[in-house]
Amino acid sequence: MALKTLNRRNKKDLKWPKIIIAILSSIGVVDTGSITLKNWGLFNSLSCSFGGFNTGCDKVLNSEWGTLFQNNQITIPLSFAGFISYLSLLILSIFLTINITSPKEKLNKIIWWFVFLISCGATVFSLLLMYIMIFKIRAICPFCIISGISSLSIFILSIIGAKFENREPMIFRGFIVAFLVLISGLVWDNKVDPANAEQISNPVPIEKIAPKVTTKSSSQKINFAKFLSENKIFMYSAYWCSHCYDQKQLFGKEAVKELTIIECEKDGKDSKTELCIEKEIKGFPSWEINGEISSGVKDLNDLAIMSGYEGDTNF
């Protein structure tokens, strides 16, 4: 009698793993989709600040590993691959949740296999990206961590929800997918890693520069920028920082030339990393006003008040 009860429980279709997988997949779609849209310029800004602390996700997302494919016409960010994976998992989990097919039908089992194998590959690749992020890029991206946790959770839930009767095919197929994804990931990593570039063709390290400012400056902005420099008010920046770029865009290309901008990244042009460390710069951009550090993009009128500027503020 007890054995029959146990068998009925094992055959019982579990609803909660499907629902949680759908929720986690939705989070993944929003997470990777937002990054992709920001990369394509459809989002003006994507905040990388958590709890008031400016994280290193700009550095991660703008690194060599942040792009999957690029040519003169199109750029496909790595986040787009994540978006496709999560979107696929979301669609599959919806099919499972609304019970379009019976849990006993072959199609239902096939869908569970797809969820299991996609999440398995996504988990392995996420772990590889975590390694690259921490040990190669040396920065922390909360968006990437969220994606990694989501894919791992979906992978675990797929094992629970699918209730594979025979573990050997699950282990074998999971191993094959994990192995192929890992090998492909390592080959890709080796290809894009700037440390593997030929040193003969580039005997001297190339200093990296920030994107060019495209907006025009009014005379008021130019005079304000001159005032800031004359009064030793400095902007601490990093060439890869999108928020720093947003701040420069507020001034315009002519006014930016008048600012005193200090590059903090080691491989940036005219880098002054030691000064940034001495000043305890923890986020970009940061403004030094009368010896005090204030982080974040500043509205020009707010910056004028903070700096004591008494000129024309019709920016």
Please report the DSSP string for 7-71 in residue order: HHHHHSPPSHHHHHHHHHHHHHHHHHHHHHHHHTTSSS----EETTEE-SHHHHHTSGGGEEEE-
- Is residue 52 scored above 90 in pLDDT? no
Asked if 210 and 245 touch (Cβ cutoff 8 Å), the reply is yes
What percentage of residues in the chain have a pLDDT greater than 90? 54
Same fold, 2-196 and 219-307: no
Q: Where are the domains of the chain?
A: 2-196, 219-307
* Between 127 and 74, the higher pLDDT residue: 127
* Between 47 and 144, the higher pLDDT residue: 144
For the stretch 191-247, pLDDT in tens is 888 777 544 344 555 668 888 888 999 999 999 999 999 999 999 999 988 889 889
What tokens does 5 get?
A: 């009860």
In this structure, whether the domain defined by 219-307 belongs to CATH 3.30.460.80 is answered with: no
Cβ neighbours of residue 211 closer than 8 Å, sequence gap 6 or more: 245
- pLDDT value, residue 17: 94
User: Beta-carbon neighbour count of residue 31 at 10 Å?
Assistant: 20
pTM of the model: 0.63
The mean of the pLDDT values for the chain is 85
- Of 106-120, 147-161, 202-216, 252-266, the one with minimum mean pLDDT is 202-216
Asked if 1 and 79 touch (Cβ cutoff 8 Å), the reply is no
- Is residue 99 scored above 90 in pLDDT? no
- pLDDT value, residue 234: 95
Provide the strand spans (E) within the chain: 49-50, 53-54, 67-70, 75-77, 234-237, 261-263, 286-289, 292-295
269-295 mean pLDDT: 91
- Of 91-95, 151-155, 194-198, 305-309, the one with minimum mean pLDDT is 194-198
Secondary structure of residue 232 in the 3-state scheme: coil
At the top level of CATH, which class does the domain 2-196 belong to? Answer: mainly alpha
Q: Sheet containing 261-263: give its strands across.
A: 261-263, 234-237, 286-289, 292-295
Asked if 286 and 235 touch (Cβ cutoff 8 Å), the reply is yes
pLDDT tier for residue 287 given thresholds of 50, 70 and 90: very high
